Structure 1
Amino acid sequence: MGRGLKITIGAVVSVCVLVLALAGGWYWVTHSVEQPAYTVVEAEGDIELRDYPAMVVAEAATAGDRQEGVRQGFRALAGYIFAKDREGERIAMTAPVIQQAAEGDRPWRIRFVMPSQYALDELPPPSGGGVALDRWPPRRLAAIRFSGRADDADFAEHEGRLRDWMAGRGLEPDGPALLAYYDDPWTPGFLRRNEVLLRIR
């Protein structure tokens, strides 16, 4: 029985070490990647009203369902920032990766926010992969944050909650929801940060 207890304690210690290592790696990654700055205007639980400054984004319009669209768009955008499809220096990766439903035969737009050090005219022009650059003006967004390996049902549920919260305050959304992923595929679900964002009219 003593030997079994030692094995059990050893297993618990090993699991704790693994969890701490994963949490430490997650903290390092999330704190070493630039994220857009914003000011919180109002907060209630997991919902915030935020003011964002102007920012530059690289985007790719893709076909297929959301998962396939994300894969296509991520590949195209990674080719741009890592200088695989163009000349010049690499551009640092940022978070989040933003998804937006569109219309027509290319129903998804996938976006990377460019590092804040770049103005639109300072970025190298895309040379392939269907990538385009755009400057977003300052905007106010409502955001709801949640963890887990988010799927379509998760995003739909949280978008519904966010729209209800806005309606209760007389806030009207302007355009489709933005879906934001902040973490890489290897981050455990309970450590992940996902958001639904809606622009305020």
Structure 2
Amino acid sequence: MRPTPLAVLTAALGTLASPAHAIEEPRFETVLQQGAFEVRRYAPYMVAEVRVGGDFEQAGNRAFRQLANYIFGGNQGRQEMAMTAPVIQAPAAPVPMAMTAPVTQTASEGGWRVQFVLPSHINAANAPVPNNPQVTVREEPARTLAVIRYSGMWTAANYAEHVALLKANAEKAGIPLQGEPVLSRFNGPFTLPFLRRNEVWMEVAAGAGLAR
């Protein structure tokens, strides 16, 4: 009997919850590391993306089922794809964010972009077409990103605290940033918060010595 999408999703989340299981993630080269702060050069990678409304802490849940349906066969070829990491969440449009305060409802008025990274064998030519018109598939270009890693709950307050730390570390290192910060989550919801790998990413400004 063919497993239901819900059963496959439950199994995938269980896999993500296991620290011992190797999950594919986008290829990158680390060019600077200072404790939890890093600068990485990422190769291009493909994502499935959906835009949702709601506040910061609701966005991931609202998007997850639509994206999971796509990778578990909700596409024109009924092609199933492996679960990869991270799940990425970013503002859908540039919004102001206080460095020392949690993200507020005002900060998410433009909605959120939530992405699943697709397996590395997927490219623009062979990516399955989503059945759901709300899901789009596109390539993220090669970029240099400043990153800070942390654990704990997926709350707006925890995220905002680490956005501030990322910006402070980049400023201390003399690395200019551009664009909006994004949250990258590498574990499923069954992973205990203190074992989670969460990251905030921001793009290194064009023209900076580390960007190329």
- Place the TM-score, normalised by the shorter chain, in its bin: 0.7 to 0.9
- Please give the TM-score of this superposition, normalised by the length of structure 2: 0.78
* Structure 1 outlier segments of 4+, above 4 Å: none
Larger Rg: 1
2:176: which partner in 1?
172
State the TM-score, normalized to the length of structure 1.
Answer: 0.82
1:61 Cα deviation from its structure 2 partner: 0.4
Matching residue's letter, 2:19: Y
Residue 183 of structure 1 and its aligned partner are, at CA, apart by 0.5
After superposition, what is the alpha-carbon deviation per residue over 1:19-70, rounded to whole angstroms, capped at 9, x for unaligned? xxxxxx72333x1x21112111000011000010011111000011122221
* Superposition map of 1:1-201 within 5 A: 26-29=18-21, 31=22, 33-84=23-74, 86-103=76-93, 106-128=110-132, 130-201=134-205
Report the count of equivalent residues: 176
Which 5+ residue runs of structure 1 have no aligned equivalent?
A: 1-24
Aligned-residue Cα RMSD (Å) equals: 1.8
Tell me which protein shows more helix as a share of its residues: 1
Code of the residue aligned with 1:163 in structure 2: it is K
Amino acid at match of 2:118: M
SS in 2 for 1:125: coil
Identity %: 35
Distance in 2 of aligned mates of 1:63 and 1:129: 16
Amino acid at match of 2:70: Y
Between 1 and 2, higher relative CO (CA 8 Å, sep ≥ 6) is seen in 2
Gapped regions of structure 2 (runs ≥ 5): 1-16, 94-107, 206-212
Counterpart residue type for residue 186 of structure 2: Y
* SS of residue in 2 equivalent to 1:28: coil
Moved more, 52-61 or 62-71: 62-71
